C-alpha cells in the first residue's frame, strides 16, 4: 500500500464525544475505510467522520 493511497480521518463519537484519529483508504464506493468498529462507550453507529487534507 503506497503512502499516497491513505488519508487521515477524524472520527468523533456523538454519544460520549471521544475522538479518534486514524488513517484509512478510499473504498470502491468512495467512502474512507479505516477498520474502525466501535467506541469505548459501545456505540457502533452514531459517529461524525471528517477527512483531513
pLDDT at res. 46: 94
pLDDT at res. 8: 94
Mean per-residue pLDDT pooled into runs of 10, the chain (53 residues): 77 96 88 92 94 86
Residue for grid cell 468523533: 12
pLDDT at res. 2: 54
Write down the pTM of the prediction.
0.79
User: In this structure, what DSSP letter does residue 41 have?
Assistant: T
Distance from C-alpha of 24 to C-alpha of 35, rounded to nearest angstrom: 8
How wide is the angle at C-alpha 43 spanned by C-alphas 37 and 30, nearest 5°? 45
Amino acid at each position: 500500500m503506497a503512502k499516497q493511497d491513505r488519508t487521515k480521518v477524524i472520527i468523533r463519537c456523538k454519544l460520549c464525544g471521544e475522538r479518534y484519529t486514524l488513517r484509512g483508504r478510499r473504498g470502491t464506493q468512495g467512502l474512507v475505510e479505516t477498520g474502525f468498529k466501535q467506541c469505548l462507550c459501545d456505540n457502533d453507529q452514531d459517529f461524525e467522520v471528517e477527512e483531513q487534507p
